[in-house]
């Protein structure tokens, strides 16, 4: 879960201290790219509310995470902060009393605030009944923006290959045909930072959900369905087909996502698998890039194409804050329609408020339109063991370079899964 916070005054402050009667809210953050925009919003909020938002920047992200962990142990967290890390870390902060439950605020006035968000963005900050972390069911964070991961394609390169840029391929067959035309024209096909294995995991599970449905995917994680099941072999074969037909940009298995973004932005590939944050990245690399977003082309009509996504950035309120209500009020203001539109147009991040889509850039709208197709491993009933994920993703890398067959990888991943289940008893 990525956390965003505002960038404004750098001077530290003790909540409620000092000679001034002005209420002060201390907020910690780590993202520097949105500092100026959020600084303007913090100033505006003080003008209309009389509450000063003191924002302290700690970067890079590793330094920020270390500070959050140390402050948690010392019970010295600010009024508002974010957590970088897995949901289990989020849960640990809640169970330690560091994060306020926000359910009553969310559900006030017939759940007005709660209903303003994309459900999938809010879901990242929710713990359900019977969760594995023993957290009391409820909402514990506020999503400032949203995100999802899908594909983008270059309109100009489509035209060069004789493809109509108004129509993205909807099916795998259409996708393969488009890649073939691009290759004939000398245009590289698909690029992605598959050296970052989470992107492989993401793309593969997009197709797993589409081919076999969520229930069977979850049953696989539970050990009820083997990874050498024909449906999983079918998923592995997709990567084999792309590699065998030379539709992948050379070197993708060792490529970082930043390099992949540069290649797409410089029009050296027609397709890219990337997240909605790429809009801001591409703008900085090539402001004249003409591209559009699309769901990964589906294989099956039996199940929907599901993509990874949810909250891009979230805030938590310190449960020990003396200004808890004021902190919540600021977050509510920050996630209202007007502020969300301003954030989206200035930072090119998807708004978390679903009511703020009318006046945002077209490319953002294309990503936002698919928020109903979003899921994430953190919201599934069970999570896969990291060792299995490693065998799964590295196995796909081996398929792409031709070192292993899909069937071999399916058997190897299932062997790792069996061993882990045996060790767990």
CA 123 → CA 142, 243, 277, 311, 366, distances in Å?
10, 36, 19, 8, 21
What pLDDT is attached to residue 35?
A: 79
Structure tokens at 56: 């302290």
Burial pattern 18-35, b for ≥16 Cβ within 10 A else e, equals eeeeebbbbbbbbbeebb
Pairing label, strands 52-57, 126-127: unpaired
For the chain, report the end-to-end CA distance as a whole number of angstroms.
Answer: 31
Q: Which domains does the chain have, with CATH numbers?
A: 24-147+310-379 (3.40.190.10), 149-308+382-423 (3.40.190.10)
- Name the percent of the chain in helix, strand, coil, to the closest 5: 50, 15, 35
CA 210 → CA 205, 215, 305, 327, 420, distances in Å?
8, 11, 5, 41, 27
Residues with Cβ within 8 Å of residue 406, at least 6 apart in sequence: 233, 236, 237, 239, 240, 399
* Distance from the Cα of residue 72 to its chain's centroid: 25
Burial pattern 309-340, b for ≥16 Cβ within 10 A else e, equals bbbbbbbbbbbebebbebbbbbbbbbbebebb
What pLDDT is attached to residue 7?
A: 36
The whole-model pTM stands at 0.85
DSSP string for residues in 227-251? TTSHHHHHHHHHHHHHHHTT-BPTT
pLDDT in tens, the chain (425 residues): 333 333 343 333 333 334 445 789 999 988 777 778 888 999 999 999 999 998 888 888 889 999 999 999 999 999 999 998 778 899 999 999 999 999 999 999 999 999 999 998 999 899 998 888 899 999 999 999 999 999 999 999 999 999 999 999 999 999 999 999 999 999 999 999 999 999 999 999 999 999 999 999 999 999 999 999 999 999 999 999 999 999 999 999 999 999 999 999 999 999 999 999 999 999 999 999 999 999 999 999 999 999 999 988 899 999 999 999 999 999 999 999 999 999 998 988 899 999 998 778 899 999 998 998 999 887 887 889 999 999 999 999 999 999 999 999 999 999 999 999 999 87
What pLDDT is attached to residue 13?
A: 38
Residue labelled with tokens 């850039």: 361
What pLDDT is attached to residue 5?
A: 33
Burial environment of residue 274 by CB neighbours within 10 A (0 to 12, 13 to 18, 19 or more)? buried
């Amino acid at each position: 879960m990525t956390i965003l916070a505002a960038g404004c005054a750098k001077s530290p402050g003790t909540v409620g201290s000092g000679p001034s009667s002005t209420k002060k809210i201390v907020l910690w953050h780590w993202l520097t790219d949105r500092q100026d925009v959020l600084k303007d919003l913090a100033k505006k909020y003080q003008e209309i509310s009389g509450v000063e938002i003191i924002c302290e920047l700690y970067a890079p992200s590793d330094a920020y995470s270390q500070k959050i962990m140390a402050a948690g142990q010392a019970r010295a967290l600010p009024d508002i902060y974010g957590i970088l890390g897995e949901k289990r870390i989020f849960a640990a902060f809640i169970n330690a009393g560091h994060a306020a439950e926000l359910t009553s605020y969310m559900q006030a006035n017939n759940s007005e605030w709660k209903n303003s968000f994309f459900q999938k963005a809010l879901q990242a900050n929710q713990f359900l009944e019977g969760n594995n972390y023993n957290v009391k069911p409820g909402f514990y964070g506020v999503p400032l923006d949203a995100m999802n991961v899908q594909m983008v394609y270059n309109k100009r390169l489509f035209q060069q290959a004789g493809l109509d840029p108004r129509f993205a391929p909807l099916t795998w067959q259409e996708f393969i045909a488009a890649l073939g035309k691009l290759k004939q024209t000398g245009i590289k096909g698909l690029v992605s930072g598959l050296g970052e294995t989470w992107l492989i995991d993401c793309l593969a599970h997009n197709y797993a959900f589409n081919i076999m449905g969520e229930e069977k995917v979850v049953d696989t994680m539970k050990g009820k369905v083997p990874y050498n099941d024909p449906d999983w072999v079918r998923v592995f074969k997709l990567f084999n087909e792309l590699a065998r037909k030379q539709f992948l940009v050379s070197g993708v298995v060792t490529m970082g996502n930043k390099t992949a973004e540069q290649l797409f932005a410089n029009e050296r590939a027609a397709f890219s698998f990337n997240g909605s944050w790429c809009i801001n990245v591409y703008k900085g690399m090539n402001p004249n890039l003409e591209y559009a977003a699309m769901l990964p082309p589906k294989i099956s009509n039996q199940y929907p194409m599901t993509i990874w996504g949810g909250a891009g950035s979230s805030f938590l309120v310190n449960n020990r804050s003396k200004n808890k209500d004021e902190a919540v009020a600021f977050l509510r203001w920050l996630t209202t329609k007007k502020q969300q539109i301003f954030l989206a147009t200035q930072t090119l991040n998807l708004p978390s408020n679903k009511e703020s889509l009318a006046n945002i850039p077209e490319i953002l709208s294309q990503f936002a339109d698919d928020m109903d197709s979003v899921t994430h491993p953190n919201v599934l009933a069970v999570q896969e063991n990291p060792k299995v994920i490693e065998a799964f993703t590295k196995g796909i890398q081996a398929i792409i370079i031709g070192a292993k067959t899909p069937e071999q990888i399916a058997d190897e991943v299932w062997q790792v899964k069996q061993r882990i289940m045996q060790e767990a008893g």
